[in-house]
Amino acid sequence: MSLTQADAQAWNSELESKSPQDILAAALDKYDNLAISFSGAEDVVLVDMAAKLGKSFRVFTLDTGRLHPETYRFLEKVRTHYGIKIEATFPEVAQVEAMVNEKGMFSFYQDDHKECCAVRKVGPLRRKLSTLSAWVTGQRKDQSPGTRVDIPVVQIDGAFSTESNQLIKFNPLANWSSQQVWAYIRSNEVPYNELHEKGFISIGCEPCTRPVLPNQHEREGRWWWEEATAKECGLHAINVDKK
């Protein structure tokens, strides 16, 4: 059953003061065809919470072909630690070949990152989400001053819904800080990417991610050659488009 915008707003008002576990439980109870999007520290916290809820859940990840070796080891560590299947989604080979053959391996340093992200991340994500009714992300409001400060804990995903498939998006950690995420990781002995021990906070593809200096915002480690306040790869385009 589809939600109206009023339904979604009312549900958000009901859930926004709840704990991430309560929000996640509500999502899992409401939607059978739901999956947790997994790549980083926030996402593995959600996986840990889901495992402890004792409910059936699915996890998927996007393999862009440009991830750090440490990230691949992290994915395997999480898979074995929780005894879960991680559904990997890959870019279309023909699209990657065409882009690289025409523009080389690092065109995003000159052209900006959007084309490469569209091929390696947004296209595969759209394909995956077309098979789901809802998805769960690890977005936090304090991750990006320009694009994430207003994210609700539940919303209709206007960026990836279609006429035949309304997609609902849950952000259970929207109101958490980075400090709360890492306090949870430490207190629950949750696996994490070893790159975090080398100064990386927000981790994406290897050519587009670097460590940050003390007191730099975490998003300054992503696409650092571009304007700082609107850094989204397209996975959360709804934050920019305000749909």
Query: Hey, is 185 helix, strand or coil?
Result: helix
Residue with tokens 């009714």: 133
Q: Report how far apart, in Å, the C-alpha atoms of 161 and of each of 2, 114, 155, 233, 236 are.
A: 11, 20, 11, 18, 13
CA distance 227 to 30: 39
- Largest separation between any pair of C-alpha atoms in the chain: 50
For the record, the structure tokens of 193 come out as: 């990417």
Closest CA to 199 of 181, 216, 177, 186: 216
Phi, psi dihedral angles at 134 (to 5 degrees)? -160, 155
Give catalytic residues, as residue numbers: 233
Residue 169: helix, strand or coil by DSSP?
strand
Closest listed residue to residue 21, CA positions, set 221, 188, 228:
188
- The whole-angstrom separation of Cα 112 and Cα 225 is 8
